Structure 1
Amino acid sequence: MHLYRIMKVLEAVATSGRPITAGEVQNLTDLPRPTCYRLLQTMTSQRLLDEPETGRFLVGERMVRLAFLAQTDADVSRAAAPALKEAADHFGEAIFLSRLRNKGVEIIHVEVPKDAKRSFVHPGLGFRP
């Protein structure tokens, strides 16, 4: 299926941690070479991937924009919660996850330590001055 192949290419590029060559994409996806190159060209023309003059591919601005637009506060909180909980337990402090929104700061998630040795102030969720 065409969409399956597109997703394989996107995942290979996104998880590589660095810009990668067409050959590396082909090796990571096990797609036939002509198919891989055709997908890379199409995805680049649609700005899902970017290919600077280095000849290496990275996630394109259109894909990045789509990813950011699709993330609700709940999505961000769910993804960040395990790391925030670990930090709260490690440091023994409350950890707040905030977003800049409309020229203000909004607290969207809070994790508190499992064994708090001192008290902390929990300002609640929502906008803060």
Structure 2
Amino acid sequence: MEGLRTDKEGDLVVVGEKPVRNYVVACITLFNAGASTVRVRARGKHISRAVDTVELLKRVFIKDLRVEEIKIGTDELVNEEGKDVGVSTIEITLTKPEMSQTVNRALTHATRLLGRRRW
């Protein structure tokens, strides 16, 4: 369920069990591929990891990144015992202004560095 997706609403990163850096790289990859909007979605205990992903992107890699919208909600699921349970959800919509070639090269370099770095 986690990882990169493209659907009718645009590019989507679904946050799960992987380290935050994986989701940061996924977002940078989508932006470098030409996406103007990226959505970061998570449920339950992974919500904090989605927020960490967005904050790391904003503070370290894409300084002018904008949070366009934050949607919160509850998904109704049936657990193993057959009971209805609610799981909290978050979806953060990010946009970035058009960037020059120099900045795009810097993002590519940052992506390479993230691949080598331990968080």
Give the TM bin, normalised by the shorter chain.
Answer: under 0.3
Greater C-alpha Rg: 1
Kindly indicate whether structure 1 or structure 2 has the higher relative contact order, using CA contacts under 8 Å at least 6 residues apart.
2
Which structure has the highest strand share of the two? Answer: 2
Which structure has the highest helix share of the two? Answer: 1
TM-score, structure 2 as length reference: 0.26
TM-score, structure 1 as length reference: 0.25
